[in-house]
Amino acid sequence: MRAMSSEPSPPVNRTRRLLRTWASSPLVKAERLTMLALTSAGVAISVVLVIVSPADDIASSVFQLALTAMFALFVWSPLLAVIMLLSAMCVSFAVANEGATIVALAVAMGCVVRTGTRPLLVTFVGGFLLSAAAAATFAVPGLTLTNVAAALVVATVSGAVGYLLTVGSAREQRLRQSLRAQEQAEQEAAFAERQRIADELHDVIAHDLTVITMYTRVLEQPIDDELREQSQQTIRDAATKALGDLRRVVEQAKGPAVLAEPPRESLADAIENARSELHGVGATLVLDGATADPRVPRVIDAALARIARESITNVLKHGGRGAVEITVRVSSGTVRMSVRSPLATKGPREALPSGGYGIMRMTARAQQLGGELTVRSEHHAWILEVQFPLV
C-alpha cells in the first residue's frame, strides 16, 4: 500500500497553492475610496475627450478611456488589473497608443507594489520593462528615449509611494492587532480578577455562613444553657470572621492583593476549628495522623487547610449524623488526606442549597499544586481524597 505522502496532490490543493502565490494584499477602505475617486475623475475626463475628439481620434480616445478605467480593478482584483494593463500594452502597438500606455503602466507601478505579491510584481515589472524596451527599439513615432526614461522615473517614484503605503499599512495592521491583543488581555485580566474575588468570597465566607445557618438551627431546638451559650458564641465568632474576610476581599479589589493577604491557615488550625464546629451540631471529628509535619511545605499545608475547611462546609450542609473521619498520611514523596462522613438523610426542605462550586474549587486548588482530588460516595458515606507530591 502506497504511503499517503507519496500520492500526488489533488488538483484542488494545487489550485489553492497557485491562488495563494498570486494572491494580493487588499487595499484599506480609505485607499479603495481614493482609488475609485481618482479613477472616476480620470474616466470623466476621458469621456469629455472622447466627445470633443475628431472622428479620426475617437478610437485612440476610447482606448485611453478603457485604459483609465482599468485602474479601478485594483480595488477588487490586482491580478486582473495587471493582466488587463499588460494586455492593453500589447494592443497599444496596434492602435498607436504606446506612449500613453507606458505612462499608465508607470503610474500603475505603485498600485502593483502596494497590492501585489512578489510573483505578480516581478511579472508586471518584466512586462513594463519589456514594453519600454520594445517601444524604444522599434522607434515608435512620438516616443523618444527621453520619454522612456521619464516613464522609468515615474515608475520608480510610483513604486516608492506604493512601498511606503505598504509599510504604513503593515504597521497599521500590527498596531491594530496589538490593540486587539491588549484589549483581550485586559478583558482576561478583568475576568480573572472577578473570578479571584468570587473564589475568595466562596472560600472564606461560605463556610462561615454555613456555620451560622447550622448553629441557628441548633438554637431552634430544646438544648441546655451551656450549649445555647456555646452556639451563640460560635455564631458571633463566625459572623465577625465573615465580616473581616469580606472587608479583606474588598481591600484586595481596591489595591495590591499582597498587602491585604492574611496569614495562611494551617491544617492543624483548620481541623481544630472543624472539631469545634461539628461538636456544636452534635457531630464528632476523628483524626488519624499528624497534621503538623515538617516535610509538608507551607503552601501545600495551606491548600490542605482550605480543602479541609470546604469539606467540613459540605459536611455541615449535606452530611448525616455520625463521626467525621479525617486521615492524614505523609510519606517521603506524597501527602494524602481523606475526609469520610455519613451521607445525609435530610428532606428537601431541610437541605441547604449547593451548586457544586466548592468541589470545583477544591479540585482546581489541588491541580494547581500538581495534586489530585477525587470525591465519591461509598457504603452510605461521602469520601473525599486528595494527595500532593512533596518532591
Query: Exposed (0-12), middle (13-18) or buried (19+): which is 97, by Cβ within 10 Å?
Result: buried
Closest C-alpha among 298, 200, 311, 304 to residue 245:
200
Mean pLDDT within 97-117: 84
**pLDDT higher than 80, residue 267:** yes
pLDDT at 113 over 80: yes
Residue 353 vs residue 29, higher pLDDT: 29
pLDDT for 183: 85
The answer to whether residue 252 scores a pLDDT higher than 80 is no
Position with higher pLDDT, 53 vs 257: 53
**Cα angle at 160 between 154 and 166, to 5 degrees?**
135
Q: How many residues does the chain have?
A: 391
Q: Is the pLDDT of residue 335 over 60?
A: yes
Task: Give me 260's grid cell.
Answer: 491585604
* pLDDT (mean) for 211-239: 78
176-200 pLDDT, tens digit each: 888 888 888 888 877 777 777 777 6
Buried b (16+ CB within 10 A) or exposed e, 173-204: eeeeeeeeeeeeeeeeeeeeeeeeeebbebbb
pLDDT classification of 4: cutoffs 50, 70, 90:
very low
What is the model's pTM?
Answer: 0.46
- For residues 386 and 228, give the distance between their C-alpha atoms in angstroms, rounded to a whole number: 36
CB 273 within 8 A of CB 297: no
Cell numbers for 20: 495563494
* For residue 140, pLDDT beyond 70: no
Would you state the pLDDT for residue 338?
93
Average pLDDT over residues 39-61: 79
